[in-house]
Each structure stands twice: as C-alpha cells, then as structure tokens.
C-alpha cells in the first residue's frame, strides 16, 4: 500500500510523494470524451502576456492583429477560476529573456533569427529591452488574469515551455498527468509546448476558444486538427465549465 505521509502545502498540493484522492471529471471533447483527475490536472496558460494580447504590447506596436485577444482573455479568466475552484494547478508561461540576452541562443542559434521578439528588436534596435525581456511591462501577464498564491510562473526563452525550463520537474512534483492548454499563439508556443508534453507522457487537452493563433485562420485550424487527430483532445470553454459544474452538483 502506498503511503500518503508527507507535508502538505498551503494550497493542498504537496511535494512529490503526496497523493490526493482522485477527483474525476468527464469533459465533452473531440475526438471522444475524456475523463481526467482534477487533482492531477494543470491548466497551462501560455504567453498570455502584454506582448501578445495587450494594446501597446509588441504585437500591437508592430501592427499584428490582436483583435481576437479579448475573447481569449475572457475565456481564460473563466477557465482559470473554475480550475482553481476544482483543485487544479495553474501554471503561467511567458516569453522572457534575461536583460543581457545570454539565454537567447546568440547568433549561432536559429532562435536568434526566428523567434518573433528577437527578430523585431534586432530589426528595431530602439526597442531592445522593451519587449519580452525580464522586468519589462511587455513580459508581464496581462492584468485581466489575476495571479494567486500557489500559482506557478515559468519564464521561457523558446517556443516550447518545456525547452530549457523546469516545467516538467514542477508538474511531476505536483503529480500532474493531465494538461489543459490555453493561450497564444495556438500554432506556435501553445502547439510546441503541447507536443513536448505529449512526448513526456502528459495527456494534452487544448481549449479551442481559449487560444489565439498567429497568422491566417488556417494555422488555428491546422493545430486543432493535429491535436484532435494525433496528439490529444480538443474541448471548448463551455465544455470545461460544464464538467466543473457537474462536479459541484455531485
């Protein structure tokens, strides 16, 4: 018999080795419904920071379309609130380079030439340090998404939240197996993180109306098709909220 002994953190989710009783919920999903243990579930909120969703942020400054951000922010608020109430872990990821860009990869890295923030700043030197850089307003999580004690914030310097970070270690510490993905951009950082999570044996679930793409609509469609067919499950905000509401009625 497994021992449940061990210290418990203030939010009820203790360090690795502490097992909470299962709290099962079934979510209406594509290609089929999926049952998850809410006590082993994390909502991975990808790059919902000023750079990509706020007026005056990097995307807005350079004329990228952020018109879809409002609906995505609202749905993220609903999902995060319901998930917290249900006992899920909330993890915020954000693109955030050190001020000296020593973690950017440098000129011998493809990241230097392809990561959007680095490209924009390199092409417009007056913006060095103002975008996706630690300590800047641009890298902060947008003010609409309140961060609570017990939430986790992980800085990343690559499109995938698992690349060069401690995300995997954090999730395993809290005994997480199911990852619900929201945020931006659907076809870039969300999909990159989701794919890596799949390869690490996490169960990936993407919320189709709580993510927003970069580029033409086909990029959103392609990611959702990839997830549904090959990498995981696709749900809606309403489906998630209904599953949480069903838990409350039990």
Residues serving a catalytic function are 47, 156, 189
Residue for token pair 């109306």: 209
Q: What are phi and psi of 46, to 5 degrees?
A: -95, 115
Cis peptide before 185 (omega within 30 of 0): yes
CB 38 within 8 A of CB 86: yes
Q: Convert the chain into a string of H (helix), E (strand) and C (coil).
A: CCCCCCCCCCCCCCCCCCCCCCCEEEECCECCCEEEEHHHEEEEEECCEHHHHCCCCHHHHCCCCCCCHHHHHHHHHHHHHHHHHHCCEEEEEEECECCCCCCCCHHHCHHHHHCHHHHHHHHCHHHCCCCCECCCHHHCECCCCCCCCCCEEEEECCCCCCCCCCHHHHHHHCCCCEEEEEEECHHHHHHHHHHHHHHCCCEEEEEEEEEECCCCHHHHHHHHHHHHHHHCEEECHHHHHHHHHHHHHC
Whether the CB-CB separation of 141 and 49 falls below 8 Å is answered with yes
């Amino acid at each position: 018999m497994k021992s449940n002994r061990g210290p418990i953190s203030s939010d009820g989710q203790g360090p690795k080795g502490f097992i909470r009783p299962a709290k099962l919920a079934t979510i209406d999903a594509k290609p089929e419904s999926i049952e998850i243990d809410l006590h082993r579930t994390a909502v991975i909120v990808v790059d919902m920071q000023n750079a990509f969703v706020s007026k005056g942020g990097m995307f807005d400054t350079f004329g990228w379309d952020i018109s879809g951000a409002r609906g995505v922010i609202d749905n993220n608020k609903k999902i995060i609130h319901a998930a917290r109430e249900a006992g899920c872990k909330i993890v915020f990821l954000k693109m955030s380079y050190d001020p000296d860009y020593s973690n950017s990869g440098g000129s011998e890295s493809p990241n230097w030439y392809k990561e959007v923030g680095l490209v924009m700043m390199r092409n417009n030197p007056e913006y060095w340090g103002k975008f996706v850089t630690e300590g800047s307003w641009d890298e902060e999580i947008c003010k609409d998404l309140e961060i609570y004690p017990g939430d986790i914030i992980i800085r990343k310097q690559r499109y995938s939240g698992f690349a060069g970070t401690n995300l995997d270690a954090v999730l395993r510490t809290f005994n997480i197996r199911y990852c619900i993905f929201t945020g931006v951009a659907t076809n870039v950082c969300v999909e990159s993180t989701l794919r890596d999570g799949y390869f690490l044996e996490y169960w990936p679930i993407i919320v189709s109306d709580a993510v927003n793409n970069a580029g033409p609509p086909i990029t959103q469609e392609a990611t959702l098709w990839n997830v549904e067919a090959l990498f995981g499950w696709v749900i809606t905000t309403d489906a998630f909220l209904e599953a949480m509401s069903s838990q409350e009625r039990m």
